[in-house]
Amino acid sequence: MVQQLNNTQIAINTLLNKLNDSLPQIRAKAAEVLGKIGNSSLADTLVSHLMQENDLNVRLNLIRALGEIGNESAIPCLAFCLSDANPDIRIITAESLGKIGSEKAISYLIQSLQDKEVKVRVTATIALGEIGLEDVIPYLVNVCSDEDDSVRFSAVDALGKIGSRYAVN
């Protein structure tokens, strides 16, 4: 068992070093794999790399990894990413905040319900439904009037998920 832990740590250290590789494809893959490993102690390191990274695919994989890891310490950085000019960054960030599932992410996701991009609004709606707190119901009710039918559909679905949780209790 001790040997297995040492080997896992060796693998993690190797992957962390690959976050500095000259090829963005290697950095992106390292971020993806670190997210799959899911060690919450890696969050601060991944946040640090995210703040310095310029390659879109690497940034997306770092954001996904932070969502997979699920450490609340990443929320301030991810909240900052919700204002990124690239809609793909905002979409994956909203998804990751939903995976983290913390009440601390709710206010940021609520702001994303006003995003000009439909897919960002849809993803923020889904994320709020995944977090599942009753406090978001009024915001989801408002989104049921969105001009886009996919946003309205996501809002209705999210309301159903939240309502069914509280109906059972």
In this prediction, residue 2 carries a pLDDT of 53
Which residues constitute the domain of residue 92?
Answer: 74-169
In this prediction, residue 6 carries a pLDDT of 84
At residue 163 the predicted structure's pLDDT band, cuts being 50, 70 and 90, is confident
Say yes or no to pLDDT of 167 above 50: no
Domain boundary among 69, 84, 116: 69
Say yes or no to pLDDT of 3 above 90: no
Q: For residue range 26-81, what is the model confidence (pLDDT) as tens digits?
A: 999 999 999 999 999 999 999 999 999 999 999 999 999 999 999 999 999 999 99
Q: What's the pTM?
A: 0.92
Residues 63 and 16 in one domain: yes
Q: How many distinct structural domains can be found in the chain?
A: 2
In this prediction, residue 169 carries a pLDDT of 46
Residues 80 and 61 in one domain: no
Residues 142 and 102 in one domain: yes
Task: Mark 17-42 as b/e (b = at least 16 C-beta within 10 Å).
Answer: ebbeeeebeebbbbbbbbbeeeeeeb
Residues 91 and 128 in one domain: yes
What CATH number should be reported for the domain holding residue 118?
A: 1.25.10.10
Percent of the chain with pLDDT over 90: 90
Residues 91 and 164 in one domain: yes
Q: What's the mean pLDDT in 157-164?
A: 89
**Residue 40, both tokens:** 């919450």
At residue 8 the predicted structure's pLDDT band, cuts being 50, 70 and 90, is confident
Say yes or no to pLDDT of 130 above 50: yes
12 neighbors 43 (Cβ within 8 angstroms): no
Domain boundary among 25, 43, 69: 69
Residues 40 and 101 in one domain: no
At residue 1 the predicted structure's pLDDT band, cuts being 50, 70 and 90, is low
In DSSP notation, the chain reads -HHHHHHHHHHHHHHHHHTT-SSHHHHHHHHHHHHHHT-GGGHHHHHHHHHH---HHHHHHHHHHHHHHT-GGGHHHHHHHTT-S-HHHHHHHHHHHHHHT-GGGHHHHHHHTT-SSHHHHHHHHHHHHHH--GGGHHHHHHHTT-SSHHHHHHHHHHHHHHHHHHHH-
Q: Is the dihedral of CA 69, 73, 77, 79 positive or negative?
A: positive
Domain boundary among 50, 69, 88: 69
**Residue 93, both tokens:** 């960030």
